[in-house]
Structure 1
């Protein structure tokens, strides 16, 4: 998956509650994706805007990280009915 494909999915499916490459400080109950050197990290936050322990998943390529990010966003949409 590419960045453009992920953005299209987020827009088309009206996915919310995300932090796209640290575009803002952590917020409650969101899915985040960020890059640290050559590693992509996908995570979730709790109701206090803290990264949930054990939620970090590490990837060595962007495509797999974006697929996981979208999968988690879809789950978040179901959980929060938005």
Structure 2
């Protein structure tokens, strides 16, 4: 999956609370994808905008990182609707 594919899915499915490699501080309860050197990192933040222990996953392949982010955003949407 590419960045463009992910952005289209986010828009089409109304997914919320994410940071797509933006240069800013983390916000509360969001999913983050960041490029760090030659890797991509996906993680979740808590109500204090801190990285949730155990949520950080590192990818060498950018496409796999975007797929993981979308998977997590979809799960987050389901949980928010309960």
Deviation at 1:22, TM superposition (A): 2.7
In 2, Cα distance between equivalents of 1:21 and 1:79: 24
In 1, Cα distance between equivalents of 2:23 and 2:80: 21
Deviation at 1:38, TM superposition (A): 0.7
Map 1:1-80; keep pairs closer than 5 Å. Answer: 1-80=1-80
In 1, Cα distance between equivalents of 2:54 and 2:40: 15
Unaligned runs of 5+ in 2: none
Deviation at 1:19, TM superposition (A): 0.8
> Contact between 1:30 and 1:76, CA under 8 Å: does it hold in 2?
no
Q: What's the TM-score once normalised by structure 1's chain length?
A: 0.93
Deviation at 1:28, TM superposition (A): 1.0
Moved over 2 A (4+): none
Unaligned runs of 5+ in 1: none
How many residue pairs align between the two structures? 81
In 1, Cα distance between equivalents of 2:25 and 2:74: 21
RMSD over aligned Cα, in angstroms? 1.0
Deviation at 1:23, TM superposition (A): 4.4
Q: What's the TM-score once normalised by structure 2's chain length?
A: 0.93
